[in-house]
Chains A and B, each alone.
Chain A
Amino acid sequence: MRVLRPATSPVNTNTMKSVPGSLK
């Protein structure tokens, strides 16, 4: 196994403007 990103403890660990489509 090669770890590309290690596991985190999510509650203790995030601080992309991307609208998922047209708004009309």
Chain B
Amino acid sequence: MKNAYVPSRFNALSHTDDNGLVLFNSYTGAIAHFSDTEKQTVLSALKRAGTNQLENEIQEDLYNNGFLISSSVDEKRRAQFLHQSLHRTDMMHLILMPTEACNFRCTYCYESFERGNMNRKIRNGLKSFVQQKAATLSNLHISWFGGEPLIALDVIEELSESFLAVAKENNIQYSCDLVTNGYLLTKDVFQRLLSWNINQFMITIDGIGEVHDSRRYLTGGGKTFDTILKNLLAIKEIPGVFDITIRTNFDEDNLKEASELTRFLKEHFTDDQRFGILFRPVGKWGGKNDDDIPVCSRTMADKKIWELTDEAITEGVNMSSMVSGSMMPSASVCYSAKPHSLVVGSDGQLYKCTLSLNEECNKVGTLHEDGQLDLDFDKIANWVTSGEETDEGCQSCFYRPACQGNHCPLYRMRTGERPCPYEKRSIKKVLNLIWKNSLERW
């Protein structure tokens, strides 16, 4: 006779620097810290054989957060059902390119900047499409991307005002994020974006001054660091709710200067919870300079991401909310793998993935001026069904509910390797950092 309660297969556990424990469950998204004095009780409760009744408060807590589950639960079916629930039709995520032009020419960029601003027909088409879908939507998320989206602020304004009105009329929860190089993000522009419900931002800074300017320069070669910093400092003075991720892309060229950047950010942003840092390794992603990029080895990249993050937290700089955000159920599934997500190019070309814009398998349809979509469902199926359903390793993984084997279908297609997220690969270290990052606020 098996015990009534057993530990979840979706748990991960890490020992913390204070002799405590952090527990994470990828199906419920729960994260909890236990002190030195509670630790033994927790470890006993999580033994594989389980327990027949909940004998103390800690065991009750473990059960309520999904760390202990009823032994009658089939967790693989739970995960399978969660995966199927991505097909619900009341949620939609569109990644829009108001322009495919850019005022920067970053050394490691994979884009080709062949198309400019979104034309009138496509703007009309998008507005009609969203209007037609609205009656059946409960949730609409727009990611403003490009190119550099702020070059086409008028397009963002026109579309936002239409989407906001439709969302209000149909009681749709409407949210947005925006990826920008930060050069045009003045205080005035920022406030306009906030008024259009755009309140999550990602801005890249690759080092201080010359380090950044040698990697992320203007089309004509000009410097950009000082302007971006001036903009960020002005934004910091704005009251209001928003979330800015300062992203640092590193390779062998700027790795040594990353600590200097962390100390610099500490001076300016340490006391503002709305700013957080995210370190990511540069990869060969299809840009014209790929052969010349001194990318870090996989082992080195895995190590440095979290070493640099640890250093930042120790200095008092916040870790980006994206790290723990990506560890929620379904949150590490790439938009390219979600059935109700599309990328809309500025010419109305529809894609699933934002990296491989020139590949036929990624050109999945066209948007017309009347809001109708022509879609190639065979191509879409390739992106949507190549995850956990094709990979027994993913089916048995503790991280399955978060990424569902679909963190990056492109990576799986190109390399044949499993596209495990960086967080999963270093889960113990990451859990310790989430705990450490929470201390200041507690």
Residues of A within 8 A of B (CB): 1-11, 13-24
| Interface check B81, CB cutoff 8 A | yes
Say whether A21 contacts B81, CB under 8 Å. Answer: no
Name A's interface SS. Answer: loop
B293 to A: closest C-beta gap in Å: 9
In the complex, the answer to whether A3 meets B65 with C-beta atoms within 8 Å is: yes
Q: Are A7 and B179 in contact (CB under 8 A)?
A: no
Contact A21 B32 (CB under 8 A): no
Contact between A8 and B329, CB atoms less than 8 A apart? yes
Contacts of B38 in A (CB 8 A): 1
Question: Does B82 lie within 8 Å of A2, measured CB to CB?
Answer: no
Contact B33 A14 (CB under 8 A): no
Using Cβ atoms and an 8 Å threshold, which residues of chain B touch A18?
A: 280, 326, 408, 421-422
With a cutoff of 8 Å between Cβ atoms, the chain A residues found around residue B139 in the complex are 15
**Is B324 part of the contact surface with A, judged by Cβ < 8 Å?**
yes
A2 touches B33 (CB 8 A): yes
Q: A15-B91, A15-B175, A20-B411 are in contact. Are A5 and B421 (CB under 8 A)?
A: no
Collect the chain A residues with CB atoms within 8 Å of residue B295's CB: 22
**Cα(A4)–Cα(B141), bound, Å:** 26
A1-B34, A5-B324 given; A20·B27 CB < 8 A: no
| CB-CB nearest in chain B for A6 | B30
**A-B contact list, 14 entries, CB within 8 Å:** A1-B38, A4-B435, A10-B28, A10-B29, A10-B328, A15-B93, A17-B179, A17-B354, A18-B422, A20-B407, A20-B411, A20-B420, A21-B298, A24-B414
Query: Chain B's nearest CB lies how many Å from the CB of A19?
Result: 6
The answer to whether residues A10 and B33 also contact, given A20-B407, A20-B420, A23-B410 and a CB cut-off of 8 A, is no
The 0/1 profile, CB within 8 Å of A marked 1, for residues 327-356 of chain B is 011111000000000000000000000110
Q: Which residue of B lies closest to A18 (CB)?
A: B280
B32 touches A14 (CB 8 A): no
Interchain CB contact under 8 A, A16 and B420: no
| B209: interface (CB < 8 Å) | no
B328, A13: Cβ atoms closer than 8 Å: yes
| Contact of B419 with A by CB under 8 A | yes
Q: Does B113 interact with chain A (Cβ within 8 Å)?
A: no
Q: Which residue of B lies closest to A20 (CB)?
A: B419
Bound: A4/B65 CA distance, A = 11
